[in-house]
Amino acid sequence: MNYTEKYRPQFHYTPEKNWMNDPNGMAYYEGEYHLFYQYTPFSNQPNFEKMHWGHAVSSDLVHWEELPPALSPGEDGAIFSGSAVVDKQNTSGFFDEEGSGLVAIYTNNGNTATPDKPQVQSIAYSKDKGRTWTKYLGNPVLFPDTTLDFRDPKVFWHVETSKWIMSLAVNDRVEFYTSPNLKEWMFASDFGEDVIGTHRGIYECPDLFSMDVDGDPNKKKWVLILSVGDCNGVNPNDPEPPAGGSGMMYFVGTFDGRTFTPDKPIHSIHDLKWIDFGSDFYAAVTWDNTTEIDGRRLWIGWMNNWRYADLLPTNKWRGSTSIPRELKLKTYQEGIRLVQEPVEELSGIRSPLATLENVTITPDTNPLTDITVDKAELIADFEIGTATEFGFKVRTSADEETIIGYNIAMKKLFVDRTNSGKTDFHPDFAAKHEAPLEPDDNRVRLLIYVDWSTIEVFGGDGTAVISDTIFPTPGSDGLNLYTVGGNVKLVSLQINELQSIWLPNDKVKENIHAHQDRLV
């Protein structure tokens, strides 16, 4: 396998070839993180009638071993998005007495047994750590009443009621169902139909989970995640996500085992909370069974946008994931907010390249002139001075650059990819994306990940996140510090080159086995 093709990300997961979109079926089981995803195994274009679940595993969330597709379409229809859970108590009865295993819950699209209800929910189980799957003979396990959009089940075990909870995207709302055994489901409640400003696109890929607030286990809140598609919704006049096309939002509230209630009513579009202000972070879902292992709530997203997803200028493969991220809830003056941080495991592929401390940056200087990087981590802390704007220009050459900057007057972080390389495959791709970011004690902190075709920027402590794809010429590897209109103090800067994750498969397997041995 060659993972060095033009634009191939070097520390983001991509399948060796062909099309991928939504991550699904995320679960941690017996030393392995499972990444399933929507996959067309014979084309770099999406084929929704022939959609499979692609499959990869990792011991460290960084290096991945691609496995054969896990679930394939048949007379039951295509295999759309869904989730996987660790059935620890064998509530399903699929496993040996006192045994456990993985159960996948997914949408069958185009089920021939129900032609008037093309989207139904089905389940499958695995007794060998996800390598082979058996579809349940009693499928489908859940049918819609009327809607044609009835998909993307995300399931978790609710300890307080000793039941499984399913969140399901149903056109303009999320429906919640309960089950004792993953086979029999009862409607509980719904949410979202009357939420102002959220219906430009149909709802997709919901996720509901509980989290500590400010790290306090005695103070918990529930978070409901919604992905919103690119138009085709019930109200095309509703606002687009911040960067246009498809995007993600969240709500913080309470859940009693049946009903989700947001803490704050949505009175206007200004009350909406967006997860990522870039174009290319969508359909992110969390891993099952990680909070029980180490307390972390982890997730990963698809780095693409339905507005131009099938037009990306890649050939052998099309579509990638974001870096895995840890989620936290923190209290701010305006209330509780969702915070994202890159997983700590990424430190294992760092190679320190350069450091700077207490340097004044002026409009006519660039202390990084001699540094070139095409995949790197930048950790920077700035103190605001007389400049009106400052930041970095990455993946630069004589005629290409991607700008990661901060506008002081507007208090906005931004990524400008209008001159980032190849942008002409869609008229909306060349754009500048902005996120609100308040300085902290007159300082601005930026954590930036640059790859061969991706940019991920975490502003402050992770409240302002911008994720964008870029397609620069391979030789565009310059790096600049810049200011506009005055000076800024660079308090500290650490530049780390990031190693490629594409080890030979035998080396990946060796890492996984070593991790499993440590767990014994």
Q: What burial class does residue 212 get, using C-beta atoms within 10 Å of its C-beta: 0-12 exposed, 13-18 middle, 19+ buried?
A: middle
Instruction: Decide: helix, strand or coil at residue 123.
Output: strand
Number of H helices, E strands in the chain: 2, 33
H or E stretch covering 358:
strand 350-361
Q: Where are the beta strands (DSSP E) in 59-172?
A: 65-71, 78-86, 102-109, 119-126, 134-135, 151-158, 163-170
CA angle 31, 23, 66 (to 5 degrees): 55
Contact present, 449 and 401 (Cβ < 8 Å): no
C-alpha closest to that of 164 among 152, 175, 153, 177: 177
In the structure encoding, which two tokens stand for residue 357, read together? 């401390």
CA dist 261 and 224 (Å) reads: 10
Q: What burial class does residue 132 get, using C-beta atoms within 10 Å of its C-beta: 0-12 exposed, 13-18 middle, 19+ buried?
A: exposed
H or E stretch covering 447:
strand 443-450
In the structure encoding, which two tokens stand for residue 384, read together? 């605001």
CB atoms within 10 A of CB 49: 11
Phi, psi of 124 (to 5 degrees): -145, 160
Catalytic residue among 22, 87, 374, 451: 22
Strand pairing of 273-274 and 282-286? unpaired
Long-range contacts for 416-420 (Cβ within 8 Å, ≥24 apart)? 417/455, 417/468, 417/470, 420/395, 420/470, 420/471, 420/472
C-alpha closest to that of 127 among 91, 156, 103: 103
CA dist 392 and 448 (Å) reads: 10
CA dist 352 and 369 (Å) reads: 17
From residue 435, how far is each of 90, 137, 146, 404, 459 by CA, in Å? 45, 48, 39, 11, 9
Contact present, 273 and 248 (Cβ < 8 Å): no
Query: Does residue 194 carry a catalytic annotation?
Result: no
In the structure encoding, which two tokens stand for residue 300, read together? 């990963």
Strand pairing of 173-179 and 478-484? unpaired
In the structure encoding, which two tokens stand for residue 255, read together? 């859940």
In terms of residues, how long is the chain?
520
Contact present, 263 and 218 (Cβ < 8 Å): no
Q: Residues with catalytic annotation?
A: 22
